[in-house]
Amino acid sequence: MKGIKSTNYFDSVKKKEKHVPFHGQKPYSIRVMRTRFPPSPTGMLHVGGLRTALFCYLIAKKTKDSFLLRIEDTDQEREVPGAVENILNTLEWAGLTPDEGVVLEHGVVAQKGNYGPYIQSQRLEIYKEYAQKLLESGHAYYAFDTKEDIDRMREDGQKAGNPAPKYDLSVRMRMKNSLVMEQEEVRAKLEAGEPYVIRLKVPESRVLIAQDEIRGKVEFKSHTVDDAVLLKSDGFPTYHLANVVDDHLMKIDIVIRGEEWLPSLPKHLLLYEAFGWEQPQFAHVPLLLNPGGGKLSKRQGDVAASDYIEKGYLPEVMINFLVLLGWNPGSTKEIFSLEELVEEFSLERIQKGGAVFDTKKLDWLQGQWIRNLPIVEFAERILPTVAEKYPEAKTDSRFARRARLIQDRITFFHEAPDMLSFYYEEPQIDMELLANKKQKINRDDLPELFCIIIDTLQNTPVTKWTAHGLLEKFKEVATENNLKLGQLLWPLRVALTGKPYSPGATEIFGYDEELDSLEETESLLMNSEEVFKRLHKAQKLVHVM
């Protein structure tokens, strides 16, 4: 990076450092808490990132404050095209719409708010300004070490018995930096445009203390902290500088992030101190684990939130599932709406240990949510999927009542077209399916069984075709003919649906309740003419087998 010429820096390097102890803020529960979710666009949004965004959203809404989205794109080489759009679309899908920052406006990425830009690559001059302040106050220094110099330092450290050497106070005075160079030499290098980075000057013999909302009191000894790079040679900041500067300037009250960032906390504490800023609250949430106990990764399965969207999981379900990964509601309740979570969520009930990402639990929650939907809403939500294959479903006056039959039988909405297909197209009869060993139905039995089924329906007034009434009628007929009930209902089901699975055989076409008068097209779920047509077709097929 080109040198930053500053007389102030050279005038200030001799000033003595003065450090003060850290003091935590008031607990978040008695303050309004402005939160931020700052993903990096280096890939599709991870389910762990979506959980962190959820926690940030819930705290902001619980305390009546704002939820901000900031894009941390300082790692330009790893940026993935379309990642920002994926992050925004995923948050919108989940109902976690940002109040401020990077947002979607009519499908286009935009920014809104008074503290922008909210994309870090657009804030480079701001970071340079604050890096300069650290140089001037003596809390940072120029480092001109080449890659070869750094590699040599690490090799020497390993030879000396240090398995993980780092650029810290134990080696800084042997490196090529402004702490060991004469001011004139530093000035000459800067004026010559020699590449450099700006590093944090970690003080000696300090104990750095912070109060984490999840982990309680955490302590770090300064001799374990490296002199982290704050500003890279290309002019881009590292996470440490950009994160602290942005959180302060954007007035963030609480930093909620994954526990993998806990080792970075002492560097951030030192930066807040160096700038003379009040530190925010911190909450480091536990990792998501695979069923084997390791960190959740692509090797064990899907990790992008969009993978689960594509599979058909509902946003309500994913939110419900993710919040329970680490958070204990303090009761046996497991089904929560987003509105309920805003009222009940608290960081104090987040566990310290990792949480297992159990897809079986996710599927169970999906089923519970679908079954708990009001029937009208359920029908409305599956209609687009069904109508995509069967357009006539859009004008089907019986659609909601037909949909009710499958509400307890599906896990994903995309299963609905197949489950309801027999209402919109005549099924193909599989003769092998009609014969059923479990029901003790042989091929030779089928002609007689269909005669009994058809006679039973013909001798029952259509006005009495209720699901329950027909079931009772078939029970009587089965007893009279020394048959099992399944020997009648199985052929009936297969003839009408062509499927080995479906709602109950009499539910497929019966009334919701017994009627005094018949309005067949509005009442029967399948017209009687269609029922007899399919039964007679099956009867003919079994006679020629």
pLDDT of residue 452: 97
Both 207 and 185 in a single domain? Answer: yes
Q: What is the largest CA-CA distance in the chain?
A: 110
| 485 CA to centre of own chain | 47
What does the pLDDT average to over 336-358?
96
CATH number at residue 449: 1.10.10.350
- pLDDT band at 490; cut points 50, 70, 90: very high
CB of 491 within 8 A of CB of 498?
A: no
Both 264 and 316 in a single domain? Answer: no
pLDDT at residue 444 is higher than 80: yes
User: Tokens 């909210």 correspond to what residue?
Assistant: 118
pLDDT of residue 51: 98
Both 126 and 232 in a single domain? Answer: yes
pLDDT of residue 292: 83
DSSP collapsed to 3 states, 56-123: HHHHHHHCCCCEEECECCCCHHHCCCCHHHHHHHHHHHHCCCCCEEEEEECCEEEEECCCCCCEHHHC
pLDDT at residue 13 is higher than 60: no
- Spatial distance between the Cα atoms of 138 and 19, rounded to a whole number of angstroms: 12
* Amino acid in the structure at residue 337: S
Closest Cα to residue 196, out of 140, 157, 138, 142?
Answer: 142
Residue 93 lies in a domain: yes
- Spatial distance between the Cα atoms of 514 and 358, rounded to a whole number of angstroms: 45
Beta carbons within 8 Å of 301's beta carbon, 6+ residues apart: 290, 359
Residue 77 lies in a domain: yes
Both 202 and 138 in a single domain? Answer: yes
Both 398 and 269 in a single domain? Answer: no
What does the pLDDT average to over 30-37?
86
CATH number at residue 267: 3.40.50.620
- Spatial distance between the Cα atoms of 85 and 306, rounded to a whole number of angstroms: 12
Both 206 and 355 in a single domain? Answer: no
Residues of the domain holding 396: 380-420
298 is catalytic: yes
Q: What are phi and psi of 21, to 5 degrees?
A: -70, 155
DSSP letter, residue 282: E
Residue 398 lies in a domain: yes
pLDDT of residue 302: 74
Residue 1 lies in a domain: no
Calculate the alpha carbon distances from 158 to 50, 143, 154, 223 in Å. 39, 22, 6, 18
Please, is 401 exposed, middle or buried when counting C-beta atoms within 10 Å of its C-beta (0-12, 13-18, 19+)? Answer: middle
- Spatial distance between the Cα atoms of 376 and 404, rounded to a whole number of angstroms: 9
Sign of the alpha-carbon torsion through 498, 502, 506, 508: negative
Q: Which of 283-297, 328-342, 424-438 has the highest mean pLDDT?
A: 328-342
CATH number at residue 322: 1.10.1160.10
Q: What is the pLDDT of residues 107-163, one digit of tens each?
A: 899 999 999 999 999 999 999 999 999 999 999 999 999 999 999 999 999 999 999
Beta carbons within 8 Å of 59's beta carbon, 6+ residues apart: 28, 33, 35, 254, 256, 345, 347
Both 126 and 225 in a single domain? Answer: yes
Residue 460 lies in a domain: yes
Final residue in a domain of this structure, among 218, 237, 256: 237
- The beta strand positions in 157-280, using DSSP E, are 197-200, 207-212, 216-221, 229-231, 254-258
Q: How many CB atoms lie within 10 A of CB 399?
A: 20
- 3-class secondary-structure state, position 367: helix
Q: What is the pLDDT of residues 266-315, one digit of tens each?
A: 999 999 999 999 999 999 999 999 888 888 876 666 799 999 999 999 99
Both 126 and 197 in a single domain? Answer: yes
Final residue in a domain of this structure, among 223, 256, 287: 287
- Spatial distance between the Cα atoms of 387 and 402, rounded to a whole number of angstroms: 14
- Spatial distance between the Cα atoms of 259 and 244, rounded to a whole number of angstroms: 17
pLDDT of residue 503: 87
Both 348 and 281 in a single domain? Answer: no
Q: Among residues 298, 352, 440, 540, which one is catalytic?
A: 298
Gyration radius of the chain over CA positions: 34
% of residues, the chain, pLDDT over 70: 91
- 3-class secondary-structure state, position 304: strand
Counting the structural domains of the chain, the total is: 5
pLDDT of residue 301: 66
Sequence-separated contacts (24+) of 220-224 with Cβ below 8 Å: 220/265, 220/266, 220/269, 222/169, 222/266, 222/270, 223/168, 223/169, 223/170, 224/266
pLDDT of residue 298: 65
pLDDT at residue 239 is higher than 50: yes
User: Tokens 């954007």 correspond to what residue?
Assistant: 250
Helix, strand, coil % over all residues of the chain, rounded to 5: 50, 10, 40
Both 451 and 507 in a single domain? Answer: yes
Mean pLDDT, the chain, rounded, equals 91
Residue 524 lies in a domain: yes
Q: How many CB atoms lie within 10 A of CB 392?
A: 12
pLDDT of residue 535: 95
Terminal CA-CA length for the chain: 85
What does the pLDDT average to over 326-330?
94
Both 109 and 258 in a single domain? Answer: yes
Residue 425 lies in a domain: no
Both 14 and 127 in a single domain? Answer: yes
What does the pLDDT average to over 316-320?
98
- The beta strand positions in 245-354, using DSSP E, are 254-258, 281-285, 288-289
Q: Which residue has the higher pLDDT, 123 or 443?
A: 123
Residue 221 lies in a domain: yes
% of residues, the chain, pLDDT over 90: 81
pLDDT at residue 3 is higher than 80: no
Q: How many CB atoms lie within 10 A of CB 63?
A: 19
Beta-sheet strand order (sheet of 254-258): 216-221, 207-212, 281-285, 254-258
Q: What is the pLDDT of residues 502-514, one digit of tens each?
A: 888 999 988 765 4
Burial 203-242 (b: 16+ CB within 10 A, else e): beebebebbbbbbeebebebeebbbbbbbbeeebbbbbbb
Residues 271, 274, 277, 279: what is their CA dihedral angle, to the nearest 10 degrees? 40
